[in-house]
């Protein structure tokens, strides 16, 4: 009975939002999966650890220190356990901290979620995160699931279902009382609330989350129709069954899912796989590439690995196939049990959506350097300023050859045309379009995956990207045609904003070795050929945006959409906050857990912070000396308060978010969780601004001819160590300092961080950068919104649930600074 009601609410909830996809004012909801087990034993320790490694002295090789440290803390592990220091580990040029990423192997097979990150400076381990498997299973090749361990996915869906049930009850009560009220007050004057809005507010995104993550992920239907299929245990020899199961769960095309369920053998037959052999640090690995996978747009990479599933207070190993599946709207990293190929254990979508509106929006009646007509840096959107001319003021450290140049050897068009150099043997190709080393920007009206030859404005020899933007009011039917007339201007804007974001983040340490997005890395390390592919006016949807972040060395992809929230249509490319939010997914994903690990911000609190950093950075970039509250996406969404529950504000009446807010109904999706994190960071940043002041431009000064960076008024006067080395440069002002601490914190925090871990990493970043002079300011600010040292979460669930306790107190040594109550 209850189940029936829940089912009808799910249908209603979906109908409320999805009935007419693509219709005016309907938010496009991209199907996306994201879940995985909690690791009860994972830790992040940010107090300096003076173990024997310290005895090695300040000149010790940081990799050797990390090696010894990891040997030390894994001494008691099973003899089958070994580890490899990943080659995407690096030393931060400014702070001198070496970020070492370590991956665990058992019996020579990768433990995909066995991560240690060690932060080393001057021979000392400053902090580390650790989620290595610590058990001693006799035979990890025997599936824990077949031995009766709780299936993490069933647990996840069970707890989601309970929540769905309790909300449905609440919804039922609300709707009944509304009907009763209407009957008793048979009076046209009394405005009745809109039942659809009641459904949306009560149920939030939960019906979608449940539908996507729990339907067809383990398919009893599939098994019932194909008993032979289900009983075929093994599949170490063949990843295709596990992959087919995943595609049934992942495809947004329900007819295709149905066809795969009804006739799996036909689909399996078409899939062709070829084995590959790799050697990583002496560890062999079993991997394959699978072609003709239904709904995948590229061959799928498959690799045998272990993942950990909870087993009481510790974990147990499960042998899985780990897939990398690129689809039209998703790019998944998924782990599916090898023994039970109908069990999907974890999924991370490397694609992230933009700020998603909570409810449907109501309808409302060297070459030459470039010069661009654009909304300048800091003009968040057309409601706050006009366009003006701006030069290609690229940062010479971040973009040594400007924004319109790249080597022929890294140029996808030249590679395709087999052109290896310029007419006089030049190495660099200069373009007069929105095509360069950091960003490829273009229209993508048909919403597909092709991009290399999509239309781009060509400014010609004088490089004046001077295109009109004067959208006119039209009928709704002509609004799209009208918007497309300004494609030259909007691609130009997207290119301009994205390049500045590249340059800005570069100067705060998102450089080649830490995994930034560039075709060519100028010999400065890191993986190449991964500029951002930026689609303007992407035709695959309206009223949203998204970003896909594969590991370093593969292009990131940003999709910007038109918003049909007003006439003329509003173009997301022109709202810098949305573009910055999207590009920041690339930043946080590459910096957390290392450049080559894109699976660290997949769901729950980690996934939420992935959204929150983008909001925070976008808001900080647009802010100026005169304090103001800010909304996200207000112009594009045509709503003064934007697309979040609250605007970002210091005033607790205006934005009451605290750590405990995460327990509330409605705080299920990553965007709501992210909003709380961004608000916390906003409070922290204002405290640092009150202490250190505000600098008008976040861009540090250009380097001198000898390559050194002058302090200017931007950094504090340089300090030197006893041996004459310059200490890390410290941004002098509050707003630049917090951006630096946030980026440095991302580098220090572990894979799959919690709010506590990310907070501790920021405090630790301040310790490294300033010797901890903002220790109490940081604690006071976090504590103001409940994230003090004794904040707690009990019964943490993989989707970010649990019962939280706020702590408004601060560590003892900060008590003198605390406000007296
Ligand atoms: C690109 O511009 C640079 C700087 O002006 C110039 O030296 C180089 O010859 C140009 N390359 C080509 C292929 O024209
Ligand atoms: C843009 O320019 C117009 C005309 O000069 C002016 O009326 C308007 O106020 C400006 N808009 C903004 C947001 O500054
Ligand atoms: C875009 O600019 C090109 C010149 O680069 C011009 O030929 C074309 O007409 C413009 N397109 C539109 C839609 O204005
Ligand atoms: C851009 O166009 C405007 C209006 O047509 C013109 O006044 C301005 O000089 C142009 N700028 C450049 C750099 O060509
Ligand atoms: C800040 O406010 C002052 C006083 O109202 C004003 O003169 C100044 O232009 C404002 N600054 C900015 C950047 O908005
Ligand atoms: C906070 O906002 C509320 C509601 O807008 C307002 O009444 C109150 O005065 C504000 N408090 C402060 C300290 O500005």
User: What radius of gyration do the chain's Cα atoms show?
Assistant: 26
Tokens 């609440």, residue?
A: 170
Nearest CA to 263 out of 250, 246, 244 is that of: 244
Contact partners, residue 367, CB within 8 Å, separation at least 6 = 402, 404, 405, 430, 463
Cβ neighbours of residue 772 under 8 Å, at least 6 residues apart? Answer: 766
The bound ligand whose nearest atom lies closest to the alpha carbon of 697 is 5
Cα distances (angstroms) measured from residue 299 to each of 304, 350, 516: 16, 16, 25
Cα 375 to middle of ligand 4, angstroms: 15
Q: For a substitution probing ligand 5, which of 376, 621, 622, 626 has the most ligand atoms within 8 Å of its CB?
A: 626
Residue nearest to atom 5 of ligand 2 (CA): 386
Taking Cα atoms as reference points, which of 231, 292, 217 lies closest to residue 261? Answer: 217
428 lines ligand 1 (CB under 6 A): yes
| Distance from residue 497's CA to the centre of ligand 5 (Å) | 24
pLDDT at residue 732, rounded to an integer: 97
Cα–Cα distance, 297 to 195 (Å, whole number): 40
What is the Cα–Cα distance from 256 to 263, expressed in whole angstroms? 10
Query: Residue 654: CB within 6 Å of ligand 6?
Result: yes
- Token pair 């795969």 in the structure block, residue: 260
Using the atom order of ligand 3, give the atom closest to the CA of residue 488.
Answer: 1
Residue 410: the pLDDT is: 96
Calculate how far, in angstroms, residue 488's C-alpha sits from the geometric centre of ligand 3.
6
**Nearest ligand, measured from the Cα of 694:** 5
User: Element (H or E) spanning 607, and its range?
Assistant: helix 604-622
52 CB burial (10 A radius; 0-12, 13-18, 19+): exposed
Which parts are annotated binding residues for Zn(2+)?
Answer: 353, 581, 585, 611
The answer to whether 41 and 74 have CB atoms below 8 angstroms apart is no
Quick one: DSSP state of residue 447?
-
CA distance 154 to 158: 6
Q: Which ligand 2 atom minimizes the distance to the CA of 384?
A: 13
Q: If you take atom 1 of ligand 4, which residue's CA is the nearest one? A: 466
Q: Is 626 in the pocket of ligand 5 (CB under 6 A)?
A: yes
- In the chain, what are the domain boundaries? 1-30+152-216, 51-140+218-349, 371-572, 659-817
- The finding on whether 430 has its CB within 6 A of some atom of ligand 1 is yes
Rounded to whole angstroms, how far apart are CA atoms 34 and 153?
11
Q: Are 600 and 608 in contact (CB under 8 A)?
A: no
Please choose, from the candidates 705, 762, 714, the residue with its C-alpha nearest in 3D space to the C-alpha of residue 736.
714
Tally of CA atoms within 13 A in the half-sphere of 453 that contains its CB: 4
Q: Is 406 helix (H, G, I), strand (E, B) or coil?
A: strand
Write the DSSP string, 78-135.
Answer: -TTEEEEE-TT-EE-TTT--EEEEEEEEETTEEEEEEEEEEEEETTEEEEEEE-----
Ligand 5 pocket residue status of 624, Cβ below 6 Å: yes
pLDDT score recorded for residue 213:
87
Q: How many whole angstroms from 493 Cα to the centroid of ligand 4?
A: 16
The pLDDT of residue 289: 87
Q: Is the peptide bond before 568 cis (omega within 30 degrees of 0)?
A: yes
- Ligand 6: does its nearest atom lie under 6 Å from the Cβ of 197? no
Pairing of strands 371-375, 464-465: parallel
Q: Tell me how far the alpha carbon of residue 341 lies from the centroid of ligand 4, in angstroms.
A: 62
Q: Pick the ligand that lies closest to the CA of residue 464.
A: 4
Which ligand 5 atom minimizes the distance to the CA of 696?
Answer: 13
Q: Classify each residue of 745-765 as buried b or exposed e, where b means 16 or more C-beta atoms within 10 Å of its C-beta.
A: bbbbbbbbbbbbbbbbbbbbb
Starting at the earlier edge strand, list the strands of the sheet with 464-465: 387-391, 371-375, 464-465
Tokens 């295109």 sit on residue: 467
**Cα(187)–Cα(815) distance, integer angstroms:** 59
Index of the ligand 5 atom closest to the CA of residue 626: 1
- Please work out whether the CB of residue 388 comes within 6 Å of at least one atom of ligand 5: no
Q: What is the per-residue DSSP string for 451-475?
A: -TTS---B-TTTTEE----------
Distance between Cα 617 and ligand 2 center (Å): 26
- Identify the pLDDT of residue 55: 59
> Which atom of ligand 5 lies nearest, measured to the CA of 625?
13
For 422, list phi and psi in degrees, rounded to 5.
Answer: -75, 180
The answer to whether the CB of 19 is under 6 A from ligand 2 is no
Q: Choose the CATH number for 371-572 among 3.10.170.10, 3.50.50.60, 3.30.465.10, 3.10.129.10.
A: 3.10.170.10
- Splitting the chain (821 residues) into consecutive groups of 10 residues, what average pLDDT does each group show? 36 29 51 87 83 65 93 89 95 94 92 95 93 85 80 83 85 79 58 63 80 75 48 62 90 91 88 70 68 92 91 88 91 88 86 54 51 97 97 91 94 93 89 97 94 95 95 95 98 98 97 97 93 96 92 96 95 97 97 96 91 97 97 94 93 97 78 92 98 97 81 90 85 98 98 97 96 97 98 82 93 79 47
Q: Which atom of ligand 5 is nearest to the CA of 624?
A: 13
Q: Among residues 369, 291, 283, which one has the least CA distance to residue 102? A: 283
Ligand 2 contact via 385 beta carbon (within 6 Å): yes
Nearest ligand atom owner, CA of 385: 2
Q: Which residue has the tokens 């992935």?
A: 610
Q: How far apart are CA 23 and CA 530, in angstroms?
A: 35
Question: 3-class DSSP state for residue 155?
Answer: helix
Beta strands in 444-554 (DSSP E): 464-465, 532-536, 545-548
Closest C-alpha residue for ligand 4 atom 3:
466
**Ramachandran sector of residue 425 (left: φ over 0; alpha: ψ -120 to 50; beta: rest):** left
CA of 372 to the centre of ligand 1 (A): 21
Between the CA of 384 and the centroid of ligand 5 the distance, in Å, is: 14
Residue 54 is predicted with a pLDDT of 54
265 is an active site residue: no
In this structure, the residues whose C-beta lies within 6 A of any atom of ligand 3 are 457-458, 467, 485, 487-488
User: For the stretch 112-131, what's the b/e string if a residue is b when 16 or more beta carbons lie within 10 angstroms of its beta carbon?
Assistant: bbbbbbbbbbebbbbbbbbb
Contact between 773 and 692 under an 8 Å Cβ cutoff? The reply is: no
Residue ID of nearest Cα to ligand 6 atom 12: 651
- Residue whose CA is closest, atom 13 of ligand 2? 385
Closest Cα to atom 10, ligand 3: which residue?
488
At 202, give phi and psi (nearest 5°). -80, -40
Distance 807 CA to ligand 1 centre (A): 59
Question: Considering only CA atoms, which residue is closest to atom 5 of ligand 1?
Answer: 366
CB-ligand 1 contact for 422 (6 Å cutoff): yes
Q: Which residues are annotated as a binding site?
A: 353, 581, 585, 611
Residue nearest to atom 2 of ligand 5 (CA): 626
| d(CA 396, ligand 1 centre) in Å | 17
Please state the pTM of the whole predicted model: 0.85
- Verify whether ligand 6 is closer than 6 Å to residue 653 (CB atom): yes
Nearest Cα residue to atom 8 of ligand 1: 426
What distance in angstroms lies between residue 625's CA and the mean position of ligand 5's atoms?
8
Tell me which residues have their CB closer than 6 angstroms to ligand 4.
371, 464, 466
Q: In CATH, what is the architecture of 659-817?
A: Orthogonal Bundle (1.10)
Q: What is the DSSP string of 717-745?
A: PP-B-TTSPBPPP-B-SHHHHHHHHHHHH
Question: Which listed residue (582, 605, 675, 679) is catalytic?
Answer: 582
How far apart CA 671 and CA 358 sit, in angstroms, is 9
From the CA of 696, the nearest ligand is 5
- Which residue puts its alpha carbon closest to atom 12 of ligand 2? 385
Task: Please name the residue whose Cα sits nearest to atom 13 of ligand 4.
Answer: 464
**Ligand lying closest to the C-alpha of residue 387:** 2
């Amino acid at each position: 009975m209850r189940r029936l009601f829940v089912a009808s609410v799910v249908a209603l909830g979906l109908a409320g939002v999805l009935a007419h996809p693509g219709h005016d004012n309907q938010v496009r909801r991209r199907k996306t999966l994201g879940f995985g087990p909690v690791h009860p034993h994972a830790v992040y320790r940010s107090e300096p650890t003076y173990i024997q490694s310290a005895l090695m002295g300040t000149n010790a090789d940081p990799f050797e220190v990390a090696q010894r440290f990891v040997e030390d803390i894994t001494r008691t592990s099973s003899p089958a356990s070994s580890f490899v220091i990943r080659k995407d580990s690096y030393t931060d040029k400014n702070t001198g901290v070496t970020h070492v990423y370590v991956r665990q192997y058992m019996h020579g097979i990768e433990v995909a979620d066995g991560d240690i990150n060690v932060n080393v400076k001057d021979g000392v381990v400053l902090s580390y995160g650790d989620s290595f498997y610590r058990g001693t299973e006799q035979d990890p090749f025997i599936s824990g699931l077949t031995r009766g361990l709780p299936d993490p996915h069933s647990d996840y869906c069970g707890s989601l279902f309970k929540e769905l049930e309790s909300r449905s009850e609440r919804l039922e009560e609300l709707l009944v009382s509304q009907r009763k009220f209407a009957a008793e007050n048979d009076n046209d004057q009394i405005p009745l609330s809109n039942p659809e809005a009641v459904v949306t507010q009560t149920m939030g995104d939960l019906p979608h989350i449940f539908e996507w993550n729990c339907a067809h992920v383990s398919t009893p239907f599939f098994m019932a129709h194909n008993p032979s299929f289900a009983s075929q245990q093994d599949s170490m020899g063949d990843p295709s069954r596990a992959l087919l199961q995943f595609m049934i769960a992942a495809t947004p095309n329900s007819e295709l899912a149905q066809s795969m369920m009804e006739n799996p053998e036909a689909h399996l037959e078409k899939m062709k796989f070829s084995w590959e052999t790799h050697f990583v640090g002496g560890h062999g690995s079993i991997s394959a590439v699978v072609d003709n996978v239904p709904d995948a747009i590229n061959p799928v990479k498959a690799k045998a690995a272990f993942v950990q599933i909870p087993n009481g207070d510790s974990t147990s190993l499960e042998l899985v196939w780990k897939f990398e599946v690129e689809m039209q709207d998703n790019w998944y990293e998924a782990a599916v049990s090898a023994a039970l190929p109908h069990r999907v254990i974890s999924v991370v979508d490397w694609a992230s959506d933009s700020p998603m509106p909570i409810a449907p929006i109501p309808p409302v009646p060297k070459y030459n350097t470039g010069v661009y007509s654009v909304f300048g840096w800091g003009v968040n959107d057309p409601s706050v300023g006009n366009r003006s001319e701006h030069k290609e003021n690229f940062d010479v450290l971040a973009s040594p050859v400007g924004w319109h140049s790249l080597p022929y050897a890294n140029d996808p068009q030249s590679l395709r045309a087999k052109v290896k150099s310029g007419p006089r043997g030049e190495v660099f190709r200069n373009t007069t379009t929105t095509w360069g080393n950091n960003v490829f920007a273009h229209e993508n009206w048909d919403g597909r995956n092709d991009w290399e030859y999509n239309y781009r404005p060509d400014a010609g020899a004088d490089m004046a990207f001077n295109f009109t933007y004067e959208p006119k009011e039209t009928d709704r039917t002509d609004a799209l045609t009208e918007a497309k007339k300004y494609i030259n201007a909007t691609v130009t804007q997207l290119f301009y904003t994205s390049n500045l974001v590249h340059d800005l983040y570069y100067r705060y340490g998102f450089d080649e070795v830490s995994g930034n997005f560039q075709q060519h890395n100028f010999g400065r390390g890191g993986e190449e050929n991964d500029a951002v592919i930026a689609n303007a006016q992407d035709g695959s949807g309206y009223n949203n945006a998204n970003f896909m972040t594969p590991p370093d060395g593969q292009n990131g992809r940003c999709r910007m959409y038109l918003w049909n929230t007003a006439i003329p249509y509003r173009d997301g490319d022109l709202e810098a906050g949305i573009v910055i939010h999207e590009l920041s997914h690339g930043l946080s994903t590459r910096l957390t857990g290392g450049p080559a690990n894109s699976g660290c911000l997949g769901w729950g609190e980690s996934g939420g912070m992935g959204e929150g950093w983008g909001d925070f950075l976008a808001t900080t970039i647009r802010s100026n000396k005169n304090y103001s509250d800010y909304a996200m996406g207000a112009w594009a969404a045509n709503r003064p308060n934007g697309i979040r529950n609250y605007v970002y504000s210091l005033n607790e009446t205006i934005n009451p978010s605290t750590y405990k807010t995460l327990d509330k109904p409605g705080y299920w999706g990553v965007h709501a969780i992210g909003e709380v994190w961004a608000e916390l960071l906003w409070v922290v940043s204002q405290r640092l601004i009150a202490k250190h002041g505000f600098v008008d431009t976040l861009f540090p000064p250009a380097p001198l001819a000898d390559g050194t960076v002058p302090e200017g008024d931007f950094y504090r006067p340089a300090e030197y160590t006893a041996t004459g080395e310059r200490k890390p440069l410290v941004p002098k002002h509050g707003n630049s300092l917090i951006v630096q601490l946030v980026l440095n914190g991302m580098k220090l925090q572990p894979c799959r961080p919690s709010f506590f871990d990310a907070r501790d990493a920021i405090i630790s970043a301040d310790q490294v950068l300033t010797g901890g002079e903002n220790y109490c300011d940081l604690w006071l600010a976090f504590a103001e919104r409940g994230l003090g040292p004794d904040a707690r979460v009990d019964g943490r669930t993989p989707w970010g649930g649990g019962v939280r306790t706020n702590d408004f107190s601060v560590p003892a040594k900060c008590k003198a600074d605390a406000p007296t109550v």
